Amino acid sequence: CSSDLIRGEVGEEPAKFPYVQAGATGIHLVRPRHVVVRDLMAGNGTGSLLTIEGETDPTKPPLDANVVVTGLRLMQTQPEAAQVAIRVRGVSRVDMRDITVKGWNAAAVVFENASQCSLNACVLDADRGLPQRVGVRVMQGCSQIALGGLTFAPNVGVGFRLGDCDGAPADAPAASRVLVRRCCLPDAQVFAWLGAVEDAYIESNTATGVRRSVLAAGETCAAPRNVLLQGNLFSWLPGTLDRIGDMPPTIAPESVRLMANLWFSSELPGAFEVIGRPFGVELQPQVFDVDPKVEDRSGEPRTDAAKAFGWKSTTVRVPPPKPRTGAGQRPTETPSPAPGARPAGGN
């Protein structure tokens, strides 16, 4: 389809938008160009409720689609192991905003071989009967993916899975230039899982009640490179967190850089011996002694000293320069820490 507006006629609540009963897929755009989709509802499919698909060969560049999606309501109440709400595959320039997802199984949103795509100001709401295993999954091979202003319901498995190699071509490049900014994620098992991703900027997010780990990684994908955390607020209840950073020994602390972030639980600092310190190299001191007293509904801290952190922060932040590749190092090697920086975690 090309140069089209696909729009539902807005009605009255509760059936405000036209409803698409999904089967193997719900709303499916194939090789779209210059398309706007807005004000529709889709629900209860076995595959993707919304699919935007361009180039199906993952070895070829994504199709320049120029698609805008806004005002959709996607709902799932039925268990289906592979079901996702939104799948963006083989396309570039897709802007999605003001979308509500109510319930999902495998993932709320999946990006595959996609570039220059954004997901902003969306609500990812859970259904009590479904697993909600991953919030947003950015596959190895993607580039320039911006995720901002996402609000999650409690009890998601992994909020962000960045550089996932499961199902990606073995020779696909690492996911690159991924932005996660001003998102709010309560009571998740893991805030972010890092795979084959490089040049990722994770800034001004709030994750409360984390239960397994703030950051995690596996050994099946290539190691992350140049992941920067800045201005985030992480908190958990005493005795509920397994590890702050659940990272295998094959991943060097230098792969993650830490500007100032707030980490709080009343079990700190004594629990560092059990749950470890934040994984990465500290470029700035981390904050451990400020109880943010986060509001349950808004995710906003009540403590003044904590208001510079998290998704409600009004602080304007600029990431530091990317580490240079030192003399004698190949571009694929991990650069040394900045002068004066020290490893902040590991085992």
Taking only the tens place, the pLDDT of each residue in 51-106 is 999 999 988 999 999 999 999 999 999 999 999 999 999 999 999 999 999 999 99
For residue 324, pLDDT over 80 is answered with no
Phi and psi at residue 87, to the nearest 5°: -125, 125
Rounded CA-CA distance 198/142 in Å is 11
7-21, 168-182, 210-224, 289-303, range with the lowest pLDDT: 7-21
pLDDT digits (tens, 9 = 90+) for 101-128: 999 999 999 999 999 999 999 999 999 9
Give the pair of three-digit tokens for residue 16. Answer: 């405000």
CA 329 to the chain's CA centroid = 31
143-152, 237-246, 331-340, range with the lowest pLDDT: 331-340
Overall average pLDDT of the 185-210 stretch: 97
Rounded CA-CA distance 307/268 in Å is 20
Tell me the pTM.
0.89
Amino acid sitting at position 28: H
> Which residues, other chains included, contact 230 with Cβ-Cβ below 8 Å and sequence gap of 6+?
201, 202, 203, 204, 258, 259, 260, 261, 317, 319
- Which residue, 58, 66, 204, 226, is CA-closest to 141? 58
For residue 288, pLDDT over 70 is answered with yes
With vertex at residue 71, the alpha carbon angle to CA 187 and CA 163, rounded to the nearest 5 degrees, is 50
pLDDT band at 1 (very low <50, low <70, confident <90, very high): low
pLDDT band at 296 (very low <50, low <70, confident <90, very high): confident
Q: What percent of the chain shows pLDDT beyond 70? A: 88
Average of per-residue pLDDT values in the chain = 89
Rounded CA-CA distance 304/308 in Å is 8
For residue 231, pLDDT over 60 is answered with yes
What pLDDT score was predicted for residue 5?
65
What pLDDT score was predicted for residue 321?
81
Q: What percent of the chain shows pLDDT beyond 90? A: 78
For residue 10, pLDDT over 70 is answered with no
For residue 331, pLDDT over 80 is answered with no
Give the pair of three-digit tokens for residue 24. Answer: 């193997």
- How long a stretch of residues is the chain? 347
134 vs 327: which has the higher pLDDT: 134
For residue 15, pLDDT over 70 is answered with no
Overall average pLDDT of the 161-177 stretch: 91
What pLDDT score was predicted for residue 8?
56
For residue 16, pLDDT over 80 is answered with no
Rounded CA-CA distance 270/249 in Å is 23
Residue with tokens 């309501």: 73
Rounded CA-CA distance 22/10 in Å is 20
- Number of neighbouring beta carbons within 10 Å of residue 252: 18
Phi and psi at residue 275, to the nearest 5°: -100, -5
What pLDDT score was predicted for residue 339?
34
**Please, are residues 48 and 84 in contact by the beta-carbon 8 Å criterion?**
yes
What pLDDT score was predicted for residue 13?
53
Phi and psi at residue 273, to the nearest 5°: -65, -25
Reading phi first (left if > 0) and then psi (alpha if -120 to 50, else beta), residue 72 is in beta
With vertex at residue 194, the alpha carbon angle to CA 234 and CA 137, rounded to the nearest 5 degrees, is 95
Overall average pLDDT of the 278-290 stretch: 97
- Which residue, 183, 70, 62, 69, is CA-closest to 116? 62
pLDDT digits (tens, 9 = 90+) for 232-260: 999 999 999 999 999 999 999 999 999 99
Phi and psi at residue 304, to the nearest 5°: -60, -40
What pLDDT score was predicted for residue 59?
87
Q: What order do you get walking across the sheet with 206-208 strand by strand? A: 19-21, 41-43, 73-75, 100-102, 123-125, 151-152, 184-186, 206-208, 233-235, 262-264
Rounded CA-CA distance 119/174 in Å is 20
18 vs 309: which has the higher pLDDT: 309
Longest dimension (CA), the chain: 66
91-105, 143-157, 259-273, 310-324, range with the lowest pLDDT: 310-324
Overall average pLDDT of the 261-288 stretch: 97
Rounded CA-CA distance 231/341 in Å is 18
What is the 3-state composition of the chain as percent helix, strand, coil, each rounded to the nearest 5?
5, 40, 55
Overall average pLDDT of the 213-223 stretch: 94
Provide the 3-class DSSP secondary structure of residue 138.
Answer: strand
